[in-house]
Structure 1
């Protein structure tokens, strides 16, 4: 499928999700300098005072989501060799976006030999493959793209994850976030339904705990139970981010503030939450100042 053919509700929902993902990523990244003073950071977040920096730059979360969106836009589906090459080119263009150690090892090799993605992805971490949160952090726009067909969401999310995250946990995290984004785009986000479509895994177990956690729970308490991404693993990241998205399914700003209260890998948790919620809401209700401060996306001007 060519770019010209990639039009309609699926692309619009995916672009909304991408805008929200990038906003969450850039918003979350601004909190890291304050985390050395945890009490001060918490007071700033609870008071809903945004970080002072005039420019909010996004990280590898958004860079990789852009690569995935471009492949979907060009082909209408995940083509794994092409996705491997898109990720590699994004890294080569700007390797200082905050990529993890595994991606710094993998992506330059994929740039030279994208056809070898199956073996190269499996070689990471002593041959176990990555169980990190990287496949989950970038995938929400894919879920929004295929939101009309949840079976396709699961299949395409799996294919997108396998290119870099061969471990079952990394794949499960991507499936869960993609399903959550698809449900959000359909206006029926439910943690329990995400659980039902997530492969058997520690990530699924964490989501099951999230499904039983009352929405009245303080986010910082929820992050104690579910994890906040501090270990950079899918099972330590995805349950909390999906829970905060489901807690505020129609309010992107409130969802991001709640996610930030969990601290941890806050750019990634906010990117996941932002991508899920914005698949439904877009970013039009976000304060104009936030959108001005967030680094623009290539092909910008599509806030809707």
Structure 2
């Protein structure tokens, strides 16, 4: 879908530069989250073909019919998540100039993964001059920076890396977002997703109820439209259907963080130990389906991994590059 002002949609891939050092966080949870993010991205992307008509797509989702064709490629959501994971694995934390370089190099190696207009403008510059990331990101969209959902879509593995430490996840997520998304709402979207992933991936804690988790995430999220959306999501009545939640919260049609993150996290928070159900619920909201499914998948997957997803999904979804094997 075409990006609007100050928004970027990011969708299929990357280079196979292997992650380096051991890092200092919960690598296993982060890798599980990365695998689930890529699966959700691949699954969600297949619901885009508009030639089938939105009614037919919604019906197929209700009937749990797997999307065709049988090969599900992932998009820029996964490509940029790979860059985040690689930097964490080498450095143990976000190093912004290095992350800018990773983004730029992966874009240069494979720019056809569905990146939005803002990233087509920014990432080639980061490949050439990564140390100037702040100047380049600040200049996007007439100097207001991007408030799109691109920083949020890639950040769940970072949150899982800091499993059980939502404060550190929030701070590191903000650093990761600023490299490409200078607008405060773009940053807030990334903070919310990372905090949700850090809380969900904490296997020493029982998953809280949906409303409780969303309220806790909102408490770590800067004031603004994303936080307001999280509080609305927390207040939705029990039993609300995904389509109704999407209508109330937005599901990414505007490609903005505040129009994407609350719904994706509402879906994840409702199924914190069932990745398959979380992804079906998220897809039912339509909208920017690859991105909402990448977010929900990454949040839930840091706790569950992908082993319990039906084998047919794993067979169809494009795997991670070999260098990112567990």
* TM-score tier after normalising by the smaller chain length: over 0.9
CA distances 1:218-260 after superposition (whole Å, capped 9, x unpaired)? 1000000000100000000000000000111111001100001
Distance 1:64 1:110 in 2: 13
- TM-fit CA distance, 1:297: 0.3
**Structure 2 residue corresponding to 1:251, chosen from 239, 251, 274:** 274
1:6 aligns with 2:26: no
**Structure 1 residue corresponding to 2:151, chosen from 115, 135, 141:** 135
Q: In the alignment, is the contact (CA less than 8 A) between 2:61 and 2:280 conserved in 1?
A: yes
Distance 1:57 1:30 in 2: 8
**Structure 2 residue corresponding to 1:213, chosen from 225, 233, 236:** 236
Question: 2:97: which partner in 1?
Answer: 81
Unaligned runs of 5+ residues in structure 2 are 1-18
Question: 2:65: which partner in 1?
Answer: 49
Q: In the alignment, is the contact (CA less than 8 A) between 2:167 and 2:195 conserved in 1?
A: no
Unaligned runs of 5+ residues in structure 1 are none
What is the aligned residue count?
Answer: 300
Q: Which runs of 4+ in 1 moved over 2 A?
A: 2-7, 299-302
CA distances 1:80-135 after superposition (whole Å, capped 9, x unpaired)? 00000000011101101000000000000111111100110000000000000000
Question: 1:222: which partner in 2?
Answer: 245
Distance 1:35 1:113 in 2: 41
1:63-212 aligned within 5 A: 63-186=79-202, 187-188=206-207, 190-212=213-235
- TM-fit CA distance, 1:147: 1.6
Report the aligned-residue RMSD.
Answer: 1.3
Distance 2:224 2:117 in 1: 24
Distance 1:62 1:275 in 2: 10
Q: In the alignment, is the contact (CA less than 8 A) between 2:279 and 2:297 conserved in 1?
A: yes
Q: In the alignment, is the contact (CA less than 8 A) between 1:215 and 1:247 conserved in 2?
A: no
Q: In the alignment, is the contact (CA less than 8 A) between 1:80 and 1:159 conserved in 2?
A: yes
Distance 1:235 1:139 in 2: 15
Q: In the alignment, is the contact (CA less than 8 A) between 2:164 and 2:199 conserved in 1?
A: no
Distance 1:199 1:64 in 2: 23
Q: In the alignment, is the contact (CA less than 8 A) between 1:34 and 1:40 conserved in 2?
A: no
Distance 2:200 2:140 in 1: 33
Distance 1:95 1:3 in 2: 23
